Structure formats: C-alpha cells, structure tokens
Chain A
Amino acid sequence: MPGGRKQYGPVLSAAVFAILEIAAIIMLGSSSSIQATWLKGAAHRTHATLWGSGEKVRNYFTLDRQNRALAAENVKLSNLVRDFSQRELAYRESRLYDTLVGRYRYIPASIVKASRNTQHNYIILNKGYEDGVKPQTGIITTNGVVGTISHVDRHFSYGITLMNNKMSVSARIGRTGPAAPLEWDGRSSNGALLRNLPLHYGVEKGDTVWTSGYSDVFPPDIPIGITGEVRLKDGSVNDVKVKLFQDFAALRYVIITENLDRGEIASLEEEGGI
C-alpha cells in the first residue's frame, strides 16, 4: 500500500495542484475585471493554438491521400498538355504543309534528334520520302538557315546542320552586298563566319546577312544573322563574324525547302561541264 501511495503521489499532487490552481484562477477572474479580461484573452489564445495544432496533425495524417490525389491530377494534366502540344504540332504542320512559293516547295517538319556538341553536328527530321522529301534539299526556319538534307528514309530524313564544318551556305551582307560562303565558327550555337569578303567592300557592324539565292538549295533573302567584328585574313580578304538569328540550342520546328528547278539547273551544269 505505501508503495502504491508513493507511485500515485506525483499524480495526486498534480491533480490537487490543478484543482486548487483552477479554483484560484476562477476566484481571480470573478474578483477583478482586468484579470478576467486578461484570463479570457489567454484562454482564447490557448484555445486557438490547440485547435491550430490539432488541424496541423489532422492535415499531416491526410497527406498521403492528398499526395495520391495530386499525383492523379498531375498525370491528368500531363496528358492534357501532351494532347494540346500534339494538336498544336499538327496545326502548325497543316498550316505550312506542302506550300508552293515561287519555285520552292516547303515542307514543315519536327526535329526528332539533333546533335550540337561535336564538330560534325547532324539533325534527324520526322519527314521522309513518303512526305516528298528529297536529298540535297535545304532546312530553314523563319530565323535563318539550319542545314541540308543528305539522306532520306521512308519516314525520316537525315541532314547536316550549319553547326558542321562541312556545311557552307552562300550568303550576302545586305540585299545588294557581295556574296560569300557562310560557315560555322566552330564554337557557339549561334555564331558563324562570313569568309573571304573582298577588302574594298566596307562592312558595318550590325548589318543583316541574307541568303544570296546563288545556291540551288536555299531560297534567296532569308535573314540569317547580323554582322559583327571584321578580321583581315592573309592581307587580301576579310572574315566577318556573324551572330545568327537562329540559336541552334533552341531549335524545335523546321521547314524543308525544295528547289523545283534543281533538276534543270543540275542538267545545265552537267552540260556546261561544271
């Protein structure tokens, strides 16, 4: 019995303390209005804290259910976004599909795969010979030249981009300036060099560079970029840095260009022994 008394001693003491303290607080509240107001405020604060804590605990235990609901909603939204982006792609392609402008035919395409980290970068497009794509046709965007198609399969085509040291595009500074080969600078995804410009032609920084139209691959007057620093090469010609409008790091949709007169031009070249 004494052991039991000792065991329950602290509980009994705490209970007696609580009862007497509550009695004291009741007395305090009933004898002074200031203390009563203060005690009521303290009680409200305690009440709010306890309710707030309870709500937090309840929220914690429903997190699993909320997570599952959010994950389901996430999947639903992802599907919706995917659906919209496919519709947008189809819409873009339908707007541009098989357009004939002048003597060029334009086929819109999406990039399936592209490399950007080597000196011989390539691109694979989602259009093949079933879509009318032929080898030795150009790849452009509204921001400039991308590359040329070199191999065509049934549903896909392979091309080399301007970010390839084997690729060169005939370009000119301004609409009436001299034409010169434009090549990749080999370093950045939007840098190129316009090579071998005659010295007597003054180049201003910030001039627009266009496709010359002297190639049978790209249509003329496609804006490519703007001129930058001019460097004298071998004392006889200038090399001009060009900042391309099209950043290859942000490439997604392209347009395949086919010169409808290319066959005729090629046969003429053959006849001329070029």
Chain B
Amino acid sequence: MRRGYIFTFLVLLAIQVVLGDLLNLTQYVILSYLPVMIMSLPVTYGTPKVLIIAFATGFAVDFLTHGILGLTVSALLPVAFARNTIVKLVFGSELLSRQENISIHKQGPAKVLLGTFLATLLYFAVYVPVDCAGTRSLGFIMLRILLSLAVSTPVSYYVAGILSPLEADRWR
C-alpha cells in the first residue's frame, strides 16, 4: 500500500511536470495540484518530513519544467508548514489525534474541497506575487490568483480523490 501510494505520488508529480512544461493556458492561469499532494501526505508524517518532501517536490518541478528554480519550492513550503493548521481548521483536531488520513469518503467532499481550496489559495498567494516580482499590478496579481484557483481547485479535488482511496480501503 505504501509503495502504491509513493508510486501514485510520483506519477502525479510527473504529470504535473509535463503539464507545467507543455500546458500554457494563458498568462492569467496556472494549473497546479501540488498543494493537494502535500495535503494528502499521510498524517503520520511530521511537519519536518512534510517540509522536506515539499522541498524535494517543488525542486523537482522547478528543475524539470525549466522554470525559475526555487519558485515552486518557496510557494510549496508554506503549504507544508501550514498543513496541520489547515487540517485542524477544516477537519478538526480529532483527525490528527486519531492519525487518520484525509479521505473524501470519510471526511466528505465539502471538507476536502475546502481544505484543497485553502491549501491552493496559500500556494498561489505566494507563487503569483513571487513570479510577478513587482513587475505587475496588484489587480493583475489578484486576477491571476483567482483564475488559477478557479482552474486548479477542481483538478486538485480530483487528485485528492486519486490519493485518498488508498486510505479509504483500510476502513472498509
């Protein structure tokens, strides 16, 4: 199961790299489900471990997509750092104390969608301003964040669904 999870994670990462490299929607839209991948990491993983995974994931994306090295990393690390807070806020602290993983089947689609939304929002709130680096107006940055959220959140929810059945199986 663990090996299956890692394999799924790596495949999703590879798809993200390909999407990031090949799929250029517009300058207003960024498609990324990396935040939900970090959120979906097993709850048993401590924050330092999640941070290291986020760093490695972000670095891989930046390196392989020929983008700005450090951009994805710097945006993904806050998501990893705030993961437990988002989990407590959306799913309650019982999830952490029972060491349950995030699952659409158990926690319900609404909560997972909300958790996905918050993690993605945090990611873009860092990614977009750093990417623009003071060269764009605040209006452009806000619009880019909103449109990227609108596109990435449904995709991220779908990715959360792919990652969560592994845990759901355990409860059957």
**Which chain A residues have a beta carbon within 8 Å of chain B's beta carbons?**
9, 12-14, 16-17, 20-21, 23-32, 34-35, 37-38, 41
Task: Please name all residues of chain B whose beta carbon is closer than 8 Å to the beta carbon of A34 when the two chains form the complex.
Answer: 133, 135
Interface CB pairs A-B, < 8 A, 11: A13-B51, A13-B81, A17-B78, A21-B77, A24-B58, A25-B74, A27-B70, A28-B69, A34-B133, A35-B68, A35-B71
Task: Compute how far the CA of A32 lies from the CA of B71 in the bound complex, rounded to whole angstroms.
Answer: 10
Task: Please name all residues of chain B whose beta carbon is closer than 8 Å to the beta carbon of A41 when the two chains form the complex.
Answer: 134
B73 CB-CB contact with A under 8 Å: yes
Task: Compute how far the CA of A30 lies from the CA of B77 in the bound complex, rounded to whole angstroms.
Answer: 18
| Inter-chain contact B55/A27, CB cutoff 8 Å | no
Task: Compute how far the CA of A24 lies from the CA of B69 in the bound complex, rounded to whole angstroms.
Answer: 8
**Which chain B residues have a beta carbon within 8 Å of chain A's beta carbons?**
46-48, 51-52, 54-55, 58-59, 62, 68-71, 73-74, 77-78, 80-81, 130, 133-135
Chain B residue nearest in CB terms to A20 = B55
CB of A27, distance to nearest CB on chain B (Å): 3
Task: Please name all residues of chain B whose beta carbon is closer than 8 Å to the beta carbon of A29 when the two chains form the complex.
Answer: 70
Q: CB < 8 Å: which of B52, B68, B133 contacts A16?
A: B52
Task: Please name all residues of chain A whose beta carbon is closer than 8 Å to the beta carbon of B78 when the two chains form the complex.
Answer: 17, 21
Task: Compute how far the CA of A24 lies from the CA of B72 in the bound complex, rounded to whole angstroms.
Answer: 9
Q: Is the interface of B mostly helix, strand, loop or mixed?
A: helix
| Inter-chain contact B51/A16, CB cutoff 8 Å | yes
Q: State the 5 A-B residue pairs at the shortest beta-carbon distance, nearest first.
A: A27-B70, A28-B70, A13-B47, A38-B133, A31-B69
Chain B residue nearest in CB terms to A12 = B48
With A16-B51, A20-B52, A20-B77 as known contacts, state yes or no: A25 contacts B70, CB within 8 Å. Answer: yes
Task: Compute how far the CA of A23 lies from the CA of B51 in the bound complex, rounded to whole angstroms.
Answer: 12
CB of B64, distance to nearest CB on chain A (Å): 14
Q: CB < 8 Å: which of A13, A16, A26 contacts B70?
A: A26
| Inter-chain contact B74/A28, CB cutoff 8 Å | yes
| Inter-chain contact B69/A27, CB cutoff 8 Å | yes
Task: Please name all residues of chain B whose beta carbon is closer than 8 Å to the beta carbon of A21 when the two chains form the complex.
Answer: 74, 77-78
| Inter-chain contact A31/B68, CB cutoff 8 Å | yes
Task: Compute how far the CA of A9 lies from the CA of B51 in the bound complex, rounded to whole angstroms.
Answer: 13
Task: Please name all residues of chain B whose beta carbon is closer than 8 Å to the beta carbon of A23 when the two chains form the complex.
Answer: 55, 70, 73
